[in-house]
Amino acid sequence: MSIIYHVRVAKAVALRDFKIRITYIPWIINSLIQPIIWTYILIYTYRAVLGETAQTLQKHGWPADYVGFLILGQVLLSLFNALNWRAGMAIQRERWFGTLEIVFLTPASRLVMLTGSSIYGLLDAGWVSFSAALIVFLATGTGFNIADPLAALLSVSMAVVGAVSMGIGLAGLYVLTRSAGPIAIAIQHPLRFFSGSSFPLSILPASLQYIGYALPLTYGIEAARISLLEGAPIDEVSPLILRLALISLVGIIAGILFVRWAESLAKKYGWLHTF
């Protein structure tokens, strides 16, 4: 099949998701308000415990003001959560809509269809995350410290790729478990805990840090923080980006294999109605 055909499929899926999304305006409002509220909850919690300084964070290798630390952590976490529900739930939504059998029987690539949902998820969540970050940055007076624009661009771009990879990886897991909704909700708070979005990962016991460093979200947040707030150069950010790229690749491959596995089982045993 030609590239043009795949592009048309991805575009059609993204357009369909857009039409569904705009029929539920409260979802859009909630997506914008949630990261702002969470960030301010954490900012005032930090102020109550630490005061106006970040000396406690400095003990854990983070010299920047904690406000910027929290803003980037919460915004990137919100971006992942959005892609979790967009790419991750893409196949599960077909089950809810009663169209999963059609999807499994169509000649279109499942990866392309997941890509279409991911593209729309990025467009939908991207402007929300950017707006939330801008609002909080302006309201708190926190600024960026970018010494290497290339490092900053690569860090943010790869953080997005990491979020997409987790979404695609979870898409395959969700369709196999047939309990996508509860699992998607259940993983959000552990990810907030293990990704270092709300506090430095080094605070955790060593055994729990290993869990955090198995997540692409962790590397995306850390790379974005040091490049946007600490002015880290490309040579300092590149190890994080490389690890993020490798874990993202594993997530995408796992998602594809899981989806193919579910599809082959459904076709082999006539279980289309159960997937």
Mean per-residue pLDDT for 58-78? 76
Helix (H) or strand (E) holding 161: helix 149-177
The closest alpha carbon to 198, from 166, 221, 171, 230, belongs to: 221
Please say whether the beta carbons of 77 and 123 come within 8 A. no
Q: Which residue has the tokens 């467009």?
A: 123
3-state secondary structure 176-196: HHCCHHHHHHHHHHHHHHHCC
Cα separation, 59 vs 202, whole angstroms? 10
Flag whether pLDDT at 116 surpasses 60. yes
Whole-prediction pTM: 0.77
3-state secondary structure 113-124: HHHHHHHHHHHH
Farthest-apart Cα atoms in the chain, separation: 62
**Would you put residue 200 in left (φ > 0), alpha (ψ -120 to 50) or beta?**
beta
The closest alpha carbon to 254, from 158, 160, 168, 163, belongs to: 168
Which span out of 54-63, 73-82, 116-125 was modeled with the highest average pLDDT?
73-82
Non-local (6+) Cβ contacts of 272 within 8 A are 100, 101, 104, 105, 266
Mean per-residue pLDDT for 239-248? 90
Identify which has the larger pLDDT, 236 or 22: 236
CA angle, 34 then 35 then 41, to 5°? 90
pLDDT digits (tens, 9 = 90+) for 228-240: 888 889 998 999 9
Domain extent for 252:
3-274
Domain count, the chain: 1
For the chain, what is the total number of helices (H) and then of strands (E)? 12, 0
